[in-house]
Amino acid sequence: MSEDEVKLVYPEAQAVEQGMWLAGETAGHKSLTAFGFGDHRLSFVAIQLQTTRPTVAQYIEDHRSLKALLVQKYGPPMYDTVRWREGKSFLGDSPDGLSTALRMGYASLETQWITGETMIRLDCEAKDFTPKISITYASMRLASKMVERQNQAKADDL
């Protein structure tokens, strides 16, 4: 998809440097969506859920629900794990331990699919003691070109 085609589908999307973004709803959750382009072609879409929950357990349930929807669409994930940054022994592998570890940033939920040339990631990790759930779609071919362009722009600023 080109920038113009994305703008036709999402007329409310606003242009930003090297892409577009919009506020909306994804799978029943308030969300912010960013579109990135490489060579004027859509190379990635990043969706950050904005729904606020009172407990970490509810974020974990949101992650499970979204994973079930993505499994319906793309089949079983290639990768699905809890990543412990300090090892399980720090807080334990219990639901309470996982909730505490997620809130404190010692654990994250990571799930990944690869379909054709597209990588899809579903992540739940804490920022400022609040879990954030994101879904990322990236063209494995075009996203690398976009990163190269961004790195070249940084080098040009030196």
Mapped onto helix, strand or coil, the DSSP state of residue 45 is strand
Residues 6+ apart with CB under 8 A from 85: 105, 106, 107, 108
Q: Are 152 and 53 in contact (CB under 8 A)?
A: no
pTM, two decimal places: 0.82
Q: Are 137 and 45 in contact (CB under 8 A)?
A: yes
Containing structural domain, residue 49: 3-156
pLDDT per residue as tens digits for the range 107-144: 899 999 999 889 999 999 998 889 999 999 998 877 66
Q: Are 108 and 102 in contact (CB under 8 A)?
A: yes
What pLDDT was estimated at residue 145?
A: 65
What pLDDT was estimated at residue 69?
A: 96
End-to-end CA distance of the chain: 32
Taking all residues of the chain, what is their mean pLDDT, rounded to a whole number?
Answer: 87
What pLDDT was estimated at residue 78?
A: 95
State the CATH number of the domain containing residue 100: 3.40.1000
Question: Across the 158 residues of the chain, what is the mean pLDDT of every consecutive 10-residue run?
Answer: 91 88 93 89 93 92 96 95 74 70 88 93 91 93 68 77
Domain count, the chain: 1
CB atoms within 10 A of CB 21: 17
Strand order from edge to edge, sheet including 118-127: 14-16, 19-26, 29-38, 41-49, 130-139, 118-127, 107-115, 79-84
